[in-house]
Amino acid sequence: MTLRLIIVLTVLAHVGFVGSRVTVSLHAIALGASPLTVGVLMSLYAALPMLLAVHAGRRIDRAGVAGPLFAGLLAVSAGVLLPAAWPSLGALFFAATLIGTGFLFVHVALNNVVGALAAPEARAVSFAWLALGFSVGGFFGPLAAGFAIDGLGHRLAFLVLAVFPGIAAAILWQRRRRLPAHAAPKPDGGERNLADLLRDPRLRQAFIASAVLAMGWDLYAFVVPIYGTRIGLSASLIGIVMGTFSAATFAVRLALPAMARRVREWPMVAAAMIIASVSYALFPLAQSVAPLMALSFLLGLGLGCAQPFIMSLLYAASPPGRQGEVIGIRTTLLSGSHTVLPLAMGALGAALGMAPVFWSMALVMLAGGVIAGRRVK
């Protein structure tokens, strides 16, 4: 029952979060923002999380997940409401920062509690169910954003999206006693610093692979609204294309609970990166909705299968009482990608066009796949 509650909260929170990224991007474009400005906005989703993630993980280790999770849901809802009350480019900068920071606590808390509830032999399966919840939210978020913008306008679209994390906060408040509320045990040997974790080869390898995969997710969320607008797609069609990506992650994650019992982690991670590389290499050749949907689906299949295996690797390698901190470090690395990648790719796209952006990411994913495939057990 607790895992089901976590999945429901995940879906509602992720609809608001992913939908807000699409709406913020398209609203900024409608206000005349350049690709670089849109890149800055997307980077703000991760700027504070990059600095606060380890602190958030440590706090959750000490105090449990219910309080930080509730606060994070309220922050996401408030951030999505902000552009509805103040429809301007300035509001989008504040909103992106608040939404990203709130979702940091949501993300760390959800992953922490799923790892804590699962037995070691079932942990990959539990993370697969959590990933499935993220896929459902990722599928409906862009669709809700696209159709709300076309039907109601940007301002009311933000109002619609704010409802989802608000409902999640209300559900959590009613059922908060189901979640762990006690402090985690102190790690053996007293307090430790981040270097202790980064020196662990198992954690370090998983951190690097996680960061490379995050770049693949980040680029897609940032570049598809820009690319779709440049080739003349409407907001609804862009939402459908991006929803296809999430549908693919949902489809592959339906099979993950069974796959997690049969497939080893690192071969799956390597395969995910190779598939993502092929998809990105072909994106600049797609000039209409159908091929964009096909490539989005292929990319979603690749990237969607890797996250539960990465989380299982990280949680298994985490020292006792420091699981939230490890998730926080991973979130810091991911937030660094969220911050730097849109800025770098936005500048590259503004200078050279979108094709070099796609091909650069294809090379990064290819290199990551080769390295992951050669990893020695």
Percent of the chain topping pLDDT 90? 27
Tokens (6 digits) for 197: 């974790």
Within the chain, what is the greatest distance between any pair of CA atoms?
60
For position 260, what pLDDT does the model report?
66
Nearest to 328 by CA among 3, 98, 50, 6: 50
Spatial contact of 238 and 146, defined as CB atoms under 8 Å apart: yes
The burial class, CB within 10 Å (0-12 / 13-18 / 19+), for 121 is exposed
What is the predicted pLDDT for the residue at 183? Answer: 46
Mean pLDDT across the stretch 243-271? Answer: 80
pLDDT of residue 329: 86
Rounded to whole angstroms, how far apart are CA atoms 136 and 132?
6
- Distance from C-alpha of 250 to C-alpha of 138, rounded to nearest angstrom: 9
pTM of the model: 0.72
Q: What mean pLDDT comes out for the span 191-218?
A: 80
Mean pLDDT is lowest, of 6-20, 133-147, 184-198, for 184-198
* Straight-line distance from the first to the last Cα atom of the chain, in angstroms, rounded to the nearest whole number: 36
pLDDT at position 45, please? Answer: 87
Q: Given a cut of 60, is residue 13 above it in pLDDT?
A: yes
Q: What is the mean pLDDT of the chain?
A: 84
Residues 6+ apart with CB under 8 A from 42: 21, 24, 25, 96, 218, 221, 222, 338, 342
Sorted by sequence, the CB contacts under 8 Å of residue 264 that are 6+ apart come out as none
DSSP state letter for 319:
P
d(CA 316, CA 193): 19
- Percentage above 70 pLDDT, the chain: 93
Q: What is the pLDDT of residue 94?
A: 93
Q: Average pLDDT for residues 10-31, to the nearest whole number? A: 92
Instruction: Decide if 114 contacts 3 (C-beta within 8 A).
Output: yes
Sign for the pseudo-dihedral over CA of 97, 103, 105, 108: negative
**Where residue 377 falls among pLDDT bands split at 50, 70, 90?**
very low
Q: Whole-angstrom Cα distance, residue 182 to residue 283?
A: 48
Amino acid at site 133 = G
What are the Cα distances from residue 341, in Å, to 43, 154, 193, 346? 8, 26, 28, 8
* Residue 23: per-residue pLDDT: 92
Q: In terms of CATH, what superfamily is 2-181+195-373?
A: MFS general substrate transporter like domains (1.20.1250.20)
Cα-Cα-Cα-Cα dihedral of 263, 265, 270, 275, to 10°? Answer: 60
Domain boundaries, the chain: 2-181+195-373
Tokens of 293: 């949907």
21 has pLDDT over 50: yes
CA angle, residues 343, 218, 114, in degrees to nearest 5: 135
Question: Using one digit for the tens of pLDDT, what is the confidence trace for 319-339?
Answer: 777 877 888 888 888 777 766
Is residue 40 within 8 Å of 340, Cβ to Cβ?
no
Please report which confidence band the pLDDT of residue 292 belongs to, taking 50, 70 and 90 as the band edges. Answer: very high
Interval 42-65 mean pLDDT: 81
Q: How many Å apart are CA 21 and CA 221, to the nearest integer? A: 8
- Residue 326: the pLDDT is 85
Q: Taking the mean position of all CA atoms in its chain, how far away is CA 112?
A: 15
DSSP state of 309: H
CA 363 to chain centre: 21
Over the Cα atoms of the chain, what is R_g? Answer: 19
Q: What are the C-alpha distances in Å from 22 to residues 12, 58, 206?
A: 16, 31, 29
pLDDT, tens digit, 9 for 90 and up, residues 87-132: 888 899 999 999 999 998 998 889 888 877 776 667 777 888 888 8
Inform me whether the pLDDT recorded for 196 exceeds 90.
Answer: no
pLDDT digits (tens, 9 = 90+) for 139-192: 888 889 989 999 899 999 999 999 999 999 999 998 877 776 554 555 555 555
Confidence of residue 376 (pLDDT cuts 50, 70, 90): very low
* Residue 180, pLDDT score: 62
